[in-house]
Copies of this chain bind each other. A is one copy, B any other.
Amino acid sequence: MVNVFTMDAQIDEILRKNQLSVTGSRKRILELFLMSNGALAHGDIEKKTGEKFDRVTVYRTLQTFLEKGIIHNIPTADNSVLYALCKDDCSEGHHHDNHVHFICSECGKTICLADVTVPEVKLPGGFLPHEYQMVVTGLCKECR
């Protein structure tokens, strides 16, 4: 059971820290990310907020969160775009979410494995790496 009081305060703090005005849609969408232990797609958010907010507002809110470094997006092999909360020390333009992502092929859930760091690999000469990303598919705890 999640403590609603502290979550509300947390949401406010995140928005303030990023110099964003505290609005209904931003609070709600941030709440959804905090409640979910996994990643969310645009469609998930639309479903969970119902008719409360316009589709366009959801797009713009996600875009804003991305730019501020509140969320990061996750590479997937299909065309789906997934977003997940960043750790505390991510900031505009500079992310530290170099952790592995796990996608369950059964339930479809995508989970940030915050404790599993992406290993760096040696590249052939000429390539100048900037960021390493890793996605593992398989079965999650519940589905195996």
Q: Which residues of A approach B to under 8 Å, CB–CB?
A: 73-81, 100, 102, 105, 113, 115-116, 118-119, 121-124, 126-141, 144
Contact = CB atoms under 8 A, between A and B. Distances in A.
Contacts of A118: 121, 134
Contacts of A126: 140-141, 144
Nearest to A134: B134
Q: How many copies does the complex hold?
A: 2
Given A127-B140, A133-B136, 15 more contacts: A73-B77, A75-B76, A75-B135, A113-B127, A115-B124, A116-B121, A126-B141, A126-B144, A128-B144, A129-B136, A130-B136, A130-B137, A130-B139, A131-B136, A134-B134
A135 B133 contact: yes
A81 B78 CA distance: 7
B140 A136 contact: no
Contacts of A100: 121, 123
